[in-house]
Structure 1
Amino acid sequence: MRVAVIGGGIAGAELIRVAAPCPLQFTLIEPKKQVEMQALYPEYLGGVARLQDLAAPLKPFCEKVGAVHVQERALRLEGSTVICEKSQVDFDYAVVATGAAQNYFGIKGVENTFSINTLEETKKARRYVEDNYPERIMIMGSGLTGVEAASILAESMDASIYIIEARERVLPQFSPQTSDLVEKALSKKGVNILTSTQVAEVKKDCIIFTDGSSLDCDMAIWTAGIKPTPFIQSLDLPKKNGWILVDDHLNAQGNVFAMGDCAWVEIDGRLATKTGLEAERQASYLARHFRNMIKGRTFEKYSVRASTDSQVALISLGADCAVGVVGKTCIGVPTRLIYSLKSWIDKSFIKRFK
């Protein structure tokens, strides 16, 4: 049985790793040479994590597990064929796991911002920090990436760090208790937090807000939101809010499945978060699902672990503090314990592919 996996991020690579060895013929379609751990980008930006901690080459990994790596960009699906830039990949089943794109919401001047959404963009941002020693850094967006980046930069640099959030509190997708705990921890590190503040334009040396006020800055980092990639938008599959809509077994339509950030996974009223935790769990689920299909067995539906109304996360707030979150329960630990645990988990993920 031929399975084409489109996307070699956390979900795509983990699916192949968990499924192997088995009588499935996997083809991984991914233009990058490596699988990357996005959760460690803030640590790399702050000069804590090393490049070798962030990525693992895909070619030797695929060879080890008997898969084929097609290092091309997938362009479209035609029947049971993936049309790539230079080749075509026929499949019995396809799994779409292409992640998401950065959403700039049409803000003017976003070309003047740095991003830590990909490894290459994060490396560019890190080089700028090393070469220019910016004294005023604006981080737009206060999701997990934004607050972790602000914390590590405040800890590792002699600079004024600002978080700019359009909504009324940081980490708006989490419970108010979590937001309050994280905001207090950030404030103790000297991070300036501006909530209910909307950006109108980003210039090279300042941020202009919708109320007409502005703040000077030496570096602007955009972490405020994601959207479906052009590839996802082009697919003739059921969608919800632009994301691929899947059923209880992560099936989108016919012989096409979807998982990770590109998928809208809502089961029993619980909407899965677009996080590494859910991407890994969905990948493991589909690996087991395909194994059962080979054996002619039925398989239980997927169970969402981290949902939008019951978050599960380990939030790094520098080397001396972290917050553990399960639903509305959050625990702040002002020691290296949770931070070290999260760092170990993130780095261990990449080691699986080496």
Structure 2
Amino acid sequence: MGTLKPLVIGDLVAKYPVIQGGMGVGISLSSLAGAVAKAGGVGIISTAQIGFKQPDFLKNPLEANLRAIGEEMKKAREIAPEGIIGFNIMVATKNYASYVKKAVIAGADIIISGAGLPVSLPEYVAEAAEEAGIKLKTKIAPIVSTVKSAMVICKMWDRKFNQAPDLVVVEGPLAGGHLGFSREDLSELGVDTEDVEHTFQQAKYDEEVRGIIRLVREYGEKYNKVIPVVTAGGIYTHEDVMHQIDLGADGVQVATRFVTTRECDAPEEFKEAYIKSSKEDIVITKSPVGMPGRAIKNPFLDHVANTPFKLEHCYDCLEKCDRKTIPYCITKALISSAEGRTEDGLVFCGSNAYRAEKMETVDEVMKDLVFGE
């Protein structure tokens, strides 16, 4: 078994090189993020409709979500006062800038951002600190999937803001939820969107990861800093972790494995959906805004594929949502699952969700990922 080094992100040092992936709606909030940070990893809270439990969420979703960002961070800090805690914020989110600024003011150690290229993330983070009159400490990390996307974001930040990322997350084709890559990205990698499991070639993608690491290293040298690269997607065991480290990655981002922990914020029904699922149940689905997503096949997915949809209420969640043509409301679908009605909702997952056989604790999962025990 290999030995893992701490994950160093500027002045932040995580005992173990494991970032818990952000999962919305309501799956990775303060309980899970706090537990992971306390266990020596990096805990990540998802801002995706984070305020869905707030009493005014239906009437004022933006205000409810922004308020919840502060509340969830406070609760996570109480669990892990010395831990590293941050947020995952999707670029596709409506009012993206407001979420970023609120996360900075709430004291986020890091913001990880994907589902689109976070072109203006450095600007929003700097503005938030300046407007609040606080010292800027929040690290920023784009999610990329190819050398091409990594080059685009690094070039843009270099040219527009004279800076480089503090961390880069590489999300591969086996990741879960709203995926950080497009169907075009998959095509470039020779992967069939409808049959990822059989067309994904690990060795070929490993070369893509090595290419991203080389590119990021160049920008690190330009700015005289070490920019760690963390890989994500399909990482479930210690062997998976060591494979990524052997490629040259500085750490891993793991989400699916943490869902079936006692500390995960998801309801028991959501966790049971993972435990009961089979490999054949995990499918690539199309979100209402066209992005691919990975989920567990259930009556909800069967229903939306064959039933006309009429929007009853808009939650103002995604920037490019066309209310007239969407096949279903993704917020409503995800909230249903987050409230335990998994047969009537969307159950996002990673490619290995079917491997979950029992409930574990965050400590047990961390020990297995880091030490293989």
TM-score (normalizing by structure 2): 0.27
Largest Rg, 1 or 2: 1
The structure that is strand-richer by fraction is 1
